[in-house]
């Protein structure tokens, strides 16, 4: 089936499948380095800006109350670069470091995911149903250096901090505030 992706005939399903088949058959080489944020999202932003790709939202989120967040590829790229800087500078993380994010699926969850890809930081998602014991286990097993959560889940993280030898920084997502937890929105 050959159909367009978001109205762009350049990205036909059959072309995408064909491209990956040619890699699997060793007719094309895999790139030595690949970063989804810079190699795909930034490229799509450039194509939109140049008028060679129709403008479509890169991200569109709506909650149960009808609140809406819509980012273009250019906006997602810019925000993810800022978030990557927050992780690198404010949190002191480097390529290869691990981050645990225990959040409901709010826009920041996706933003941080892309920011981690961009910075080469390993993003470890966790469900907001984790208990303090679960969090403690994940912190120790992953050797995560940063924990990202909201003000509702922060107390469970704080209860296990004394046993966490690798954790260096914490980030709070949302409108709340908590002592010792810098707020992502303020840092952005």
pLDDT per position as a tens digit, 131-186: 999 999 999 999 999 999 999 999 999 999 887 889 999 999 998 889 999 999 99
The pLDDT of residue 100: 97
- CATH no. of 59-186: 3.40.50.980
Q: How far apart are CA 16 and CA 150, in angstroms?
A: 38
Residues 155/160/165/168 CA torsion (nearest 10 deg)? -10
Confidence of residue 39 (pLDDT cuts 50, 70, 90): confident
Cβ neighbors of 33 (< 8 A, separation 6 or more) are none
Selection from 143, 93, 91 nearest residue 119 by Cα: 93
pLDDT at 187 over 50: yes
Q: Which residue has the higher pLDDT, 128 or 116?
A: 116
Distance CA 184, CA 127 (A): 19
Please give the backbone phi and psi of residue 44, each rounded to the nearest 5 degrees, phi first.
-65, -35
pLDDT of residue 14: 60
Burial call 144-158: b when 16+ CB within 10 Å, e when fewer: bbbbbbbeebbebbb
pLDDT at 161: 87
The full length of the chain comes to 188
Between residues 43 and 18, the one the model is more confident about:
43
pLDDT for res 15: 58
pTM for the full predicted model? 0.82
What is the band of 5 on the pLDDT scale with cuts at 50, 70, 90?
very low
In this predicted model, what pLDDT tens digit does every residue of 56-104 receive, in sequence order?
899 999 999 999 999 999 999 999 999 999 999 999 999 999 999 999 9
Enumerate the domain spans of the chain. 59-186
What band does 28 get if pLDDT is binned at 50, 70 and 90? low
């Amino acid at each position: 089936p050959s159909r367009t992706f978001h109205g762009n005939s350049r990205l036909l399903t059959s072309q995408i499948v064909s491209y990956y088949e040619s890699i699997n058959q060793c007719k094309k080489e895999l790139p030595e380095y690949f970063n989804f944020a810079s190699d795909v999202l930034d490229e799509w932003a450039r194509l939109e800006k140049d008028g060679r790709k129709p403008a479509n939202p890169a991200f569109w989120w709506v909650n149960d109350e009808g609140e809406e967040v819509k980012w273009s590829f250019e906006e997602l790229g810019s925000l993810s670069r800022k978030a990557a800087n927050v992780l690198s500078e404010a949190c002191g993380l480097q390529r290869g470091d691990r981050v645990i994010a225990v959040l409901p699926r709010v826009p920041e969850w996706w933003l941080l995911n892309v920011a981690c890809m961009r910075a080469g930081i390993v993003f470890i998602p966790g469900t907001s149903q984790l208990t303090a014991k679960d969090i403690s286990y994940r912190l120790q097993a992953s050797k995560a250096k940063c924990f990202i959560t909201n003000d509702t889940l922060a107390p469970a993280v704080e209860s296990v901090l004394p046993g966490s030898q690798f954790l260096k920084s914490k980030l709070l997502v949302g409108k709340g505030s908590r002592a010792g937890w810098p707020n992502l929105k303020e840092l952005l």
